[in-house]
Structure 1
């Protein structure tokens, strides 16, 4: 318990440094596909409410709803729909973000070791060109990056440890963003006209601790996210320019606390903040602090 409290205190001590909090393009949250706590039930409904702080003065409210269907002890399928409301000096803009379709297969456990794999897709509801009063907005205010993405991931479980790895590959770019820093009256956000984003790769290590009565579970974890190349945009002459410094590593700390209300339902609180960040983050995924509340019901 002392180790958990120390980790929690470390998270709070660094949450004032604005930086890349996670990839809300989706790769940070697909680890829920590896969860096995409710496998005795065929269906799970999850409702989430997430509050986060971004670059400049942007604050976010990002709820989502997801449904998981377990077809067998080995195979499950999850569908998720996200929504995002961003508020800052540019104004407030709200819209549905993305839909996710994720399939998971779990191999038979052997000697307290178990592998599972997942694959799936993300589909955007917008082309990432939402506007306020006719003015183009940077990606920090967009509810989606406007790409169809492929996810590939695997998880290794051993005793109380989980290690998962995943990659997120943009396969179809529908992004029509038209934001130019030169015409915005501020240089806080980089130009992202017709933005093209590179893939992300993730490694995560999680340690689970349950209280003797099995009511509470604490999951401190650390995430390493590497952005595999510099992103690019089309300048005012229509020529594509690389955004130097957008490639690189992000390291996030995360503490998850879950409480079993009944055998079928649970509440989960998640707190995350970054330790290491990329130099430039044009994709609008800048977060200094993320607080999420999740409710799950299985039947």
Structure 2
């Protein structure tokens, strides 16, 4: 890797992305594509309101929307249980994946939450955000790759009910993460795996998230742009967690103006590593000119040294030198590097 960072990787200000066209978009599901965040919130509330007093042996404050956003939103089920119990200074045994919903273990409580979720989903169904569906459809029509990345192990079932199971090029859900050994959000593993499956670099991709843990995952994965979606009052936390922009509706992000379909590989010359001994040749190969003005390619921020040689040239501007060579006068012309 070259020592100079890609300036689009870690920019905190959205305006730094204004001139960048990205190659793919990765969407979270709950709260971004489908309005199932409220289903999860209700399921978590039913779980914790039922068991916290039993675990603590004394009365406990009820589970609130703030608890949901702070401790469980966007996390795998088991991580959500661990996080909330730790916040209340409570503990239960870890248990095993085979624990049933009646077991007071991490895995047992996760299984019970799943039962509550399925009941609420059966009762209320799946609501899709119209602007998200329209954007995904537009990307598909234009050949722009998309991925759905969700910690939920119900991901594919929710997408089937929403009629979106075939809308994405890649789907990575909680079941995939478990089978592949991928860390859950806020670790970036799932997003990085999805980008790899799409065949794009993280810095060339946009991530759309509504959860703090998801925004943190995208930021730590060095994705080119992170868009936070806030349907309530969580915008400041999303921004603090690393979102470049926060919108209440995806239409406001104008992602269709920030993305473009990938180039045909046959028309792309790309290097994936930095080789100092090859840099001079690469600077020539990536030289850009229009017949009047030419600029030698170079990494941003570099200075002329033994590896790099920046250059700007204008047609008709050159040095004419006369050299005495073995008794003969030899005249040569050299393009001048314009300051």
Max Rg structure = 2
Whose strand proportion is higher, 1 or 2?
A: 1
**What is the TM-score of this pair, normalised by structure 2?**
0.23
**What is the TM-score of this pair, normalised by structure 1?**
0.25
